[in-house]
Amino acid sequence: MIKTVLFDIDGTLLVTGGAGAVAWQRAFRELHGIDANIKEHTHAGMTDPEIAAIVFREVIGRDGGEAERAEAIAGYLSHLEDAVNESSGYRVMPGIEALLPQLVERGVLLGIVTGNIESAAHIKLARGNLNRFFAFGGYGSDSSDRTELTKKALERGGTVAGAPVDLATTIAVGDTPRDVKAGHGAGIRVVGVATGAYSVKELRDADADWALENVEKDFPA
Contact by Cβ (8 Å): 82, 14: no
More confident residue, 49 or 85: 85
In percent, the amount of the chain with pLDDT more than 90 equals 73
pLDDT at 43: 62
Q: For the chain, give the number of residues.
A: 221
Confidence band for 69, pLDDT divided at 50, 70 and 90: confident
Cα 116 to Cα 141: distance, rounded to the nearest angstrom: 7
Q: What is the pTM of this model?
A: 0.90
Residues 33-55: what's their mean pLDDT?
72
Torsion angle of alpha carbons 80, 81, 83, 87, nearest 10°? 130
Q: For residue 106, what are the contacts with CB-CB under 8 A and spacing of at least 6? A: none
The whole-angstrom distance between residue 77's C-alpha and the CA centroid of its chain comes to 15
pLDDT at 189 over 60: yes
pLDDT at 45 over 70: no
pLDDT at 83 over 60: yes
pLDDT at 187 over 60: yes
Residues 87-92: what's their mean pLDDT?
98
Q: What is the mean pLDDT of the chain?
A: 92
In percent, the amount of the chain with pLDDT more than 70 equals 96
Fold classified for 4-16+91-212: Rossmann fold (3.40.50)
Cα 4 to Cα 22: distance, rounded to the nearest angstrom: 33
Contact by Cβ (8 Å): 214, 203: no
Please determine, looking at this structure, whether the domain spanning 19-86 carries the CATH number 1.20.58: no
pLDDT at 64 over 70: yes
pLDDT at 99: 98
Confidence band for 24, pLDDT divided at 50, 70 and 90: confident
pLDDT at 41 over 60: no
pLDDT at 133 over 90: yes
More confident residue, 171 or 42: 171
- Structural domain spans, the chain: 4-16+91-212, 19-86
